[in-house]
Amino acid sequence: MSFLFAQVASSTPIKLPPIEYSAIAPELIMIVGAIVVMLISSLVAKHVSKATSIAVGALVAIVSLADSIYLGFQSAGSGANRAVLSGAVALDKFAIFFYALFSIVALLTVLLGRDLMNLDRSRVPEFVTLVLLSTSGAMLMASALDLIVLFLGLEILSIALYVLVAIELGNDGGRESSIKYFMLGGFSSAVFLYGVALIYGATGSTNLGQIVSFLHNNLLKSNGVLLAGMGMILVGLGFKISAVPFHFWAPDVYQGAPSPVTGFMAATAKAAGFAALLRVFYSGFLPNQSDWVPVVGAMAVLTLLLGAILAVVQRDVKRTLAYSSINQAGFILLGLYAASSRGIGASLYFLMTYSVVIVGAFATVGAIEKLLGKQGIQIEDLRGLSKKSPFLAFSFVVLILAQAGAPFTTGFLAKFNVVLAAVNSRHYPVALIAMISAAIAVFFYLRMALLPFRAGAEASDSFAPSALSLEDSQRGGDSAVLVKEESEVRVRTRVDSVTVVIGLAVAVTVVLGIWAGPLIDLANRAVLFF
């Protein structure tokens, strides 16, 4: 034994590369936070209420947000974007922008865990842990400079999401969604990875910095391996962002997953997929622009049209929102299709505002589901919502109109900017198609937005008794109106943190829609790559 030790000690020491932990601090905070939540819940489970684990999770997200803001100020001061961890991870404004975005989404999602998820006390910490872990994977995807690190981030994000979708006990829809998501997600990961392998074979490296310098210095003629690799990476990430023709999992999964998880998935998984797509294609494969820009354009056109048209014929609210989310992915793709720094900035602004809107929208859907006492609501169920809960009806309408791109919301500027970027890059036909698709989309958005204010006398009366609590009926409210008011008050006091989340989302959407300068400025400055 001592002989072995002596030999090891006398050999040349292993040189460890310097690790700049502060550069990946947001990821580390998320992972450590997730472990802490898990440990607390398993060591002192009896004393941990739902609210405690939620509070710890929210605190972790806030700390991570604060750290990303600190990193942002730091990089604004020194100005330099750089590669850290032996060139595997980038610390640039782009990555920091996404750190902040993912922290915000995680914070909003965690706050929904107590009231909108059907979980018992021991499962809430698991929900929090998975949300935090998934977020750390998304952060890694946004900052990865190496395709393998990107793959690891993708899997950390996805595997946690598969479990999150199925986390509710007794929710068969959630399980079915989860397995569909898992199979197609696994397939897309494998395709993505094969693409990485082919890129590695064609360029000799998986590092984006080395790939881009290789592509700059060598003119590859008729390189099928490189093209196949790029195509497969596009397919793999296309699944994550649910771009047509890789969208078919999205409606089923969005519909079956618990509403807060759907919102989280629509925001985080989509933003992470786009972060990776923008970085890999706009930064890594920029020298081969002429190869991928037409393909991205075709994908954008299909996504824009199919998403809008299929959304029109849906009856289920969450399914409609899923197709709407596909439609929005088409708009965000326009920014990449423009292949200009302006386009990237427009995409980033779109992602930031859309993430807040969609988390708020699905939180509202979850709260409406709870109010109506059923899982999965049809569009017709929205009729008369303004009588039952004016707050939910108002928030729902604002968040839906923001997705439609109504003026005075962030959605308008988001859509305007990406279309403008496409026009500036002289892609007139696609810009025109985007506007047509926005017009088609307005149809189903308005249908959903108007219904809550239509009178729905029959529906609301038949609903009222079922929502009564035992004490309400024991108290014996004589008039139906009184009883209804009481049940409303009960709902409102119980969904407190939900109200905060929805209120925040609505406030951000409207305030930043009117006072838009700072965020657009931020998004435009975040496009600087290494």
Query: At closest approach, how far in Å is the CB of 32 from other proteins?
Result: 19
Q: What residues make contact with other proteins under the rule CB under 8 A?
A: 148, 151-152, 155, 159, 162-163, 166, 172-173, 175-180, 182-183, 186-187, 189-191, 193-194, 197-198, 200-201, 204-206, 251-252, 255-256, 314-316, 319
Residue 225 CB, shortest distance to other proteins, in Å, is 9
Burial of 293 (0-12, 13-18, 19+ CB in 10 A): middle
Which helix (H) or strand (E) segment holds residue 83: the answer is strand 82-84
* Least Å from the CB of residue 258 to other proteins: 14
Q: Minimum CB separation from other proteins for residue 255, in Å?
A: 5
CB of 408 closer than 8 Å to CB of 514: yes
CB atoms within 10 A of CB 38: 18
Q: How far apart are CA 305 and CA 480, in angstroms?
A: 46
Sequence-ordered alpha helix ranges (H) in 166-269: 172-203, 208-217, 224-240, 249-256, 259-264
What is the three-class DSSP state of 409?
A: coil
* Closest to other proteins by CB, 252 or 472: 252
- In this complex, which beta carbon is closest to other proteins, that of residue 159 or of residue 339? 159
**Helix (H/G/I), strand (E/B), else coil: 82:** strand
One-letter-per-residue 3-state SS of 470-507: HHHHHHCCCCHHHHHHHHHHHHHHHCHHHHHHHHHHHH
Residue nearer to other proteins on the CB measure, 253 or 421: 253
Min dist CB 371 to other proteins, Å, is 23
Q: Which is nearer to other proteins, 17 or 201 (CB)?
A: 201
For other proteins, which is the closer residue by CB, 227 or 293? 227
Using the structure block, give the residue that is written with the tokens 């399980």: 175
Q: How far is the CB of 166 from other proteins (least distance, A)?
A: 6
Burial of 468-480, coded b for 16+ CB within 10 Å and e otherwise, reads: beeebeeeebeee
Least Å distance, CB 183 to other proteins, is: 6
Of residues 70 and 194, the one with the C-beta less far from other proteins: 194
Which is nearer to other proteins, 72 or 153 (by Cβ)?
153
